[in-house]
Amino acid sequence: MVPTDEFTTALRLELELRYGGYRPWTVDTLYFGGGTPSRLGADGVVRMLDIIRSRVSLAPGAEVTLEANPDDITRENVAAWVASGVNRLSIGAQSFDDETLRWMHRTHDAGAIVRSVQSARDGGIENLSLDLIFALPERGAPATRSWSRDVDLALTLAPSHLSLYGLTIEQHTPLGRWHRRGDVSESPEERYETEFLYAHHALTDASLEHYEVSNFGRPGFRSRHNSSYWSAVPYAGLGPSAHEFDGTVRRWNTAPYAEWVAKLQASKDPIAGSETLSEDNLIAESVYLGLRTTAGLELRGPELDRVAPWIAAGWGTIESGNRLVLSPPGWLRLDTLAADLTLVRSHY
């Protein structure tokens, strides 16, 4: 576990180093994640929020999300988190199959997921999101895992939100090493499509809105924070690997924790790199982000003719204001469709 004192001290240093010269500002959403900050426990999360509040004011009704492992969600921790302002938990469930969880190197079992949801609700947090992973490798993953069972069990917990992610093989992970050795094979496209569409039908039949490629929410419970990303709203980021965006320039911090701490202890900005988005970059991002959600993308000029074959194939519909909204089968082809439309938009 990251030492709480060391982490929170470094976080305070980064906040003051980067934003100390600015007036305190008001935010509508805070998101603590990308490293499971629930490992900081009760005291650590409270201190982290206190540090952020030294420079930031929360708007009335602000969404404050904490990513959490199921086994970190105890009644004691939840009570402290709620008192500090946390009002939403994103729970890394991943699967309800114990053998699969062990294969994923998760520290919890299926029972811990159920207990964590109950502990959160008992402590006053009703806005709960569950993460599940689908499209496991065809060879190498436990045969006991059933995607339909995972989706059905998630629904029995009645979460307000679900995020579903297809498994990707990263090179510098145990799964990447297994893949290089030939112990596992990537999930075929057919399995990815079948499981994605099963989840779409099961969750929308249960009255959740499939409002973004990977996200489902009950009415009124869409992730406010993630929706800001998809709308290209500027955001600030602190911590190892954190990214931030001011509308034109994107910057990111160094990833290794020890390096992030060392730079801040030496009063150095832990930035690792930055990029200024060109006009072509901005066009590509606006197309891609627009097509990711049910808000869709407003078309203009020759774009309507370009997407006519997509509509005929059932990959999307044209809604009021000439907005293209992709269907779930269209989302399965998102990268290709976005690249095609970006090419058209970049040439007029």
Mean of pLDDT over the chain: 92
- The DSSP 8-state label assigned to residue 33 in this structure reads -
Lowest mean pLDDT among 71-85, 87-101, 175-189, 197-211: 175-189
Query: Is residue 155 pLDDT above 50, yes or no?
Result: yes
**CA dihedral of 17, 18, 23, 26, whole degrees rounded to 10:** -120
Give one word for 105, left, alpha or beta, with left for phi > 0 and alpha for psi -120 to 50.
Answer: left
Q: What pLDDT does residue 1 have?
A: 47
Do 312 and 186 belong to one domain? no
pLDDT tens track for 176-231: 444 444 545 566 789 999 999 999 999 999 999 999 999 999 999 999 998 988 88
Q: How many domains does the chain have?
A: 2
| Of 170, 197, 230, the domain-final residue | 230
320: domain range? 279-345
Q: Does any domain span residue 250?
A: no
d(CA 231, CA 202): 27
| Of 195, 230, 265, the domain-final residue | 230
d(CA 151, CA 215): 13
| CA dihedral sign, ordered 229, 129, 332, 252 | positive
Tokens of 39: 């490992």
Q: What pLDDT does residue 178 have?
A: 45
Q: Does any domain span residue 74?
A: yes
The CATH number that applies at residue 333 is: 1.10.10
Q: Does any domain span residue 253?
A: no
Q: Is 28 exposed, middle or buried (0-12, 13-18, 19+ CB in 10 A)?
A: middle
Do 39 and 157 belong to one domain? yes
Q: Does any domain span residue 242?
A: no
Q: Locate tokens 């629904």: which residue? A: 155
Tokens of 102: 């062990």
Question: Helix H segments across 54-94?
Answer: 75-84
Closest of 326, 276, 275 to residue 299, by C-alpha: 326
* Residue 88 amino acid letter: R
First to last CA, the chain: 53
Q: Does any domain span residue 237?
A: no
Do 220 and 341 belong to one domain? no
Tokens of 146: 């059933």
Kindly give, in sequence order, each residue whose CB lies less than 8 Å from that of residue 98, ignoring residues fewer than 6 positions away: 109, 110
| Of 193, 215, 230, the domain-final residue | 230
Q: Does any domain span residue 18?
A: yes
Q: 310 vs 176, which has greater pLDDT?
A: 310
Q: 100 vs 347, which has greater pLDDT?
A: 100
The CATH number that applies at residue 160 is: 3.20.20.70
Do 295 and 157 belong to one domain? no
d(CA 49, CA 86): 9
Kindly give, in sequence order, each residue whose CB lies less than 8 Å from that of residue 307, ignoring residues fewer than 6 positions away: 299, 316, 318, 324, 341
Do 46 and 195 belong to one domain? yes
Full DSSP string of 103-165:
HTT-S--HHHHHHHHHHHHHTT--EEEEEEEE---TBTS-TT--HHHHHHHHHHT--SEEEEE
Do 222 and 283 belong to one domain? no
d(CA 348, CA 336): 20
Query: Is residue 169 pLDDT above 80, yes or no?
Result: no
Do 111 and 204 belong to one domain? yes
Q: pTM score, two decimals?
A: 0.92
